[in-house]
Structure 1
Amino acid sequence: MANPLRQNIVALTILQAANMLLPLATLPYLLRVLRPGNFGAYVFAQAIVGYLVLLTEYGFNWSSTAYVARVQNDRYAVSKIFWATQGAKALIAVVCLAILLLAAFFVARLRELLPVLLATYPLVIGTVLFPQWLFQGLERMMFTTISILSARLLLLPLTLFLVHSPADTWIASLISSTSMVAAGLVALILIEKNRMIIAMMPSKADIIEALREGWHTFISTAAISLYTTTNSVVLGFLAGNAAVGYFGVADKIRNVAQAPLGPLSNAIYPRVTALFSEDSAKAFALVRKLFYLLGSTMLLASVALWAGAELIVRIAMGPGYEPAVVVLKWMSLMPLLIGLSNVFGIQVMLPLGMKKKVSEILIVSDFSILPFSFRLDRFTALRARQCLPSPPNFLSRPQWLST
């Protein structure tokens, strides 16, 4: 691997390690302060806003990354892609806010959670501001690490200082979501300081073209969300906040277990994309190395989750989260499956121009499994109603929403 690739992997590994370690300073605290029902509301709001984040990203993290990687030495071309992509994301973010408010107006469950939902919405704003796809395409992932890490370290103490009771659920959500906004601002400062982009106004045609080019990758990432985000949303409507809390705890542990996937995938993707346009033999050689590395790593992660589920939940979460053990065991195979999907879908099919095929595969797979997901969520809902106490009225309406 060339030196820039090694540097990117190191930078993303540092970031991923920080993403694993920094939550340990606040997550156990939040779990004990908010309790399962209130933590479930926190997770449920993140899942709902997660749809808006997904819509705002619109697959640009893959489509725009690929285009920047191909023209990374042409500052004007990179700038044109940057402003077209940012303009498209900004327009989508405005639509997302309107969708959120309309949904809360018509759906009582969302209206009840409106303070937490609004406090979580800055995630969408941060998604607009933070151009991870640009740093990825230029193979300068150290800027990603600097931006995100500095923002999270800055806001980390606020959780301990300001969140003291279940009524502070919206504050916990606001602190978490604001970190993404701060990361975006740091990223823009770095872009300006290093003169990476030329100032220009994107044309309507450029924005439409960016949306058109990102469509198939958007469909692919939207399909993936059906088995990552939708479970929390469906469970929240059917079973209430406590059940979402148990599911959310298990899902966060699963995310930690598959953390090595992120640095390798994000660092190698632009290099593989460039190699496929220059030397396909070298590209496939790099993909084979990734397959063996990710396959073995994610297999170990899956085995560790299955074998250590009870111990992990007991140590990390404390009493009251025992039902999360079974959920975590059911999720234990996901790191391996997601790792293999990433190698074959993201690292091979997308660079080869098979975006439509990737989206078709994911859509067919997700719609095939979706009925089983709903049946499982209904079963979980019945168990939750029978075995769990009714969650308390966990939200006190903030003063700033009452005036």
Structure 2
Amino acid sequence: MAGLGNFAADYKSSLWRKGCLLRSFLSGRIIQNTGALYLVQISGYIAPLLILPYLARVLGTSSYGQFATLQAIVAYGLVLTDYGFLLSGTRKIASLRETGDHIGGVYKNITAARLLLACTAFAAMMAIAEFMPHVKLNLTLISAILVIVVSNALTPLWFFQGLQRMSIIGIVVLFSRIFSVLLTYVLVRSSADMALALWSQSLGTALACLFCLWYAARLLSVLDAQNYRVTWKGIREELLDGWHIFQSMFFSALLTNTGVLILGLYAAPSVVGGYAVVERVGKGVASLLTPFTQAIYPRISAAFARSTVEGLRMVGTWAKRLAFPTLGLVFMLILIHYSGTIGIVFGSEYQVYSDALLILIPWILLGVVNNFLGIQIMTNIGEQAWYSKAFTVSALVSIAISFMFSGIYSYRAIAAALVLGETSLTLLLIYRLRTVFLAKKEGYKI
């Protein structure tokens, strides 16, 4: 009996050690994945900010206003090619990661779907550009836009995030964006070089895309070497799976990008350029938390898969941890405005627009709240459809306010519209979650 007791004790001790090692490994992978996502996200905002003062001065206010309008149009195309796969694809790959079954099939079908969406996005962007009074397309601009859209479609960040293999990808993306920054300083020399500025971005995106394709093929050869075929049924399944998430992503893009386009209809290109610079700074600050919320999403999804109570508890834990960093972002915006940083960094002509940063403070706070309510909770309890509808309503509120008041209050109306749109989304999400949990009478406590 003593020997059996010792065996049981040793076995329990072995299980405990293995559990500790597994938790340590997963925790380390989470940290690495989070760090890599920070590289991707932060470099995506810091790289444009590094060249922003240079482009603003070299292109001039008028040309930069046209450039900013074109960037807003491109942003719509990127959202369309991303679809909902950054979440739905990540979630599916994460669920298949343990066994490796059908990972290759999911990868090929989502990639094919993204290429089809890229074709649609390109046509839509060309149509929008034709309606903008300050944008004049030529073959050089069109080809640069095409390279950006196709490269984005073929870059499977969702795949690497689902596998939690973002470490090397983060470094590659970082270096590709450094390359784009250097290329901008080399090629852009005058106000006539707007197309070269766009090409500098597209070439960096293409380089990262090529490496990601090679690395994905290498991982698939190890994880799932079966020769899956792309099927219309598979493409349709992936599109349906990501549809509701795409709706929220698309209307999120409307919330954050349509303002520049609407302002371009009422204001001079110089005003568009001035506000675009300040808004880019605000978005850059707001995006500092995005990699973290993306990195914890697979873990929270797994918790919800085990039980709703466990998922809500994990959401509450991470929400508390992010409260202080969020307040830090608010302080950063206030400091940037009152210290005159905008005028010092980008030029004195831009400082007049920096009051938009103060208007955007509630937008940042509510954006964090809505991420937890909408992305982290609602997409994991089967409420994607309602979340998409709420986003639609909030985006329409923002757009309506922008159209009604930007002709009177100029760029301040655009910033205020973002805040009011985000506020309406918060209220709708709270209403829906309260209704759902009261109906279930579960008494969940976050």
304-313 vs 109-118, greater mean Cα deviation: 109-118
Mark the CA change 1:297 to 1:203 in structure 2 (over 3 Å): closer, same or farther: same
Partner residue, 2:207: 182
Partner residue, 1:207: 235
1:246 to 274, 280, 284: 274
Task: After TM superposition, list the pairs within 5 Å mapping 1:368-387 onto structure 2.
Answer: 368-381=397-410
Residue 295 (str. 1) matches residue 323 (str. 2): yes
Separation in 2 of the partners of 1:290 and 1:326? 31
- Say whether the 8 Å CA contact 2:278–2:356 is kept in structure 1: yes
Partner residue, 2:365: 336
1:69 to 85, 89, 94: 94
Mark the CA change 1:86 to 1:314 in structure 2 (over 3 Å): closer, same or farther: same
- Say whether the 8 Å CA contact 2:63–2:194 is kept in structure 1: yes
Separation in 1 of the partners of 2:282 and 2:411? 24
Residue 28 (str. 1) matches residue 57 (str. 2): no
Deviations 1:70-93 (Å, cap 9, x if unpaired)? 111233421111111111110111
Separation in 2 of the partners of 1:37 and 1:229? 19
Aligned length: 383
240-249 vs 192-201, greater mean Cα deviation: 192-201
Show structure 1 runs of 4+ deviating over 6 A. Answer: none
- Say whether the 8 Å CA contact 1:143–1:187 is kept in structure 2: no
Q: Considering fraction of residues, name the structure with more helix.
A: 2
- Say whether the 8 Å CA contact 2:262–2:402 is kept in structure 1: no
Partner residue, 1:346: 375
- The one-letter amino acid paired with 1:128 is A
- The one-letter amino acid paired with 1:294 is L
Task: After TM superposition, list the pairs within 5 Å mapping 1:267-286 onto structure 2.
Answer: 267-286=295-314
Mark the CA change 1:118 to 1:379 in structure 2 (over 3 Å): closer, same or farther: farther
Separation in 1 of the partners of 2:301 and 2:132? 46
Separation in 2 of the partners of 1:117 and 1:43? 15
- Say whether the 8 Å CA contact 2:44–2:177 is kept in structure 1: no
Separation in 2 of the partners of 1:308 and 1:334? 16
Residue 159 (str. 1) matches residue 184 (str. 2): yes
Task: After TM superposition, list the pairs within 5 Å mapping 1:4-403 onto structure 2.
Answer: 4-19=29-44, 21-104=46-129, 107=131, 109=133, 112-114=136-138, 115-116=140-141, 118-194=143-219, 195=221, 196=223, 198=225, 199-310=227-338, 311-381=340-410
* % identical equivalent positions: 28
Q: CA deviation at 1:111?
A: 6.0
Q: CA deviation at 1:165?
A: 0.6
Choose between structure 1 and 2 for higher RCO, CA contacts under 8 A separated by at least 6 residues. 1
- The one-letter amino acid paired with 1:317 is F
Separation in 1 of the partners of 2:89 and 2:141? 32
Separation in 2 of the partners of 1:339 and 1:85? 28
Separation in 2 of the partners of 1:122 and 1:110? 23
- Say whether the 8 Å CA contact 1:126–1:178 is kept in structure 2: no
TM-score of the aligned structures, taking structure 1 as reference length: 0.87
Separation in 2 of the partners of 1:209 and 1:110? 40
- The one-letter amino acid paired with 2:322 is L
Decide which structure has the larger Cα Rg and report it: 2
Mark the CA change 1:19 to 1:55 in structure 2 (over 3 Å): closer, same or farther: closer
- Say whether the 8 Å CA contact 2:105–2:230 is kept in structure 1: yes
Separation in 1 of the partners of 2:213 and 2:408? 47
TM-score of the aligned structures, taking structure 2 as reference length: 0.79
Q: CA deviation at 1:307?
A: 4.3
- The one-letter amino acid paired with 2:106 is I
Structure 1: unaligned runs, 5 residues or longer: 384-403
Computed over aligned residues only, the root mean square deviation of the Cα atoms, in angstroms, reads 2.4
Separation in 2 of the partners of 1:255 and 1:12? 17
Separation in 2 of the partners of 1:218 and 1:151? 27
Deviations 1:383-403 (Å, cap 9, x if unpaired)? 9xxxxxxxxxxxxxxxxxxxx
Deviations 1:139-177 (Å, cap 9, x if unpaired)? 222143033112123333111111011101111111113
Mark the CA change 1:99 to 1:189 in structure 2 (over 3 Å): closer, same or farther: same
Q: CA deviation at 1:235?
A: 1.1
- The one-letter amino acid paired with 2:136 is E
- Say whether the 8 Å CA contact 1:239–1:380 is kept in structure 2: no
Q: CA deviation at 1:350?
A: 0.8
Separation in 2 of the partners of 1:108 and 1:287? 42
Structure 2: unaligned runs, 5 residues or longer: 1-25, 413-446
Mark the CA change 1:375 to 1:117 in structure 2 (over 3 Å): closer, same or farther: farther
Q: CA deviation at 1:367?
A: 2.2
Separation in 1 of the partners of 2:335 and 2:298? 35
In structure 2, the residue corresponding to 1:109 is in which secondary structure? coil
Q: CA deviation at 1:69?
A: 1.5
Separation in 2 of the partners of 1:110 and 1:246? 15
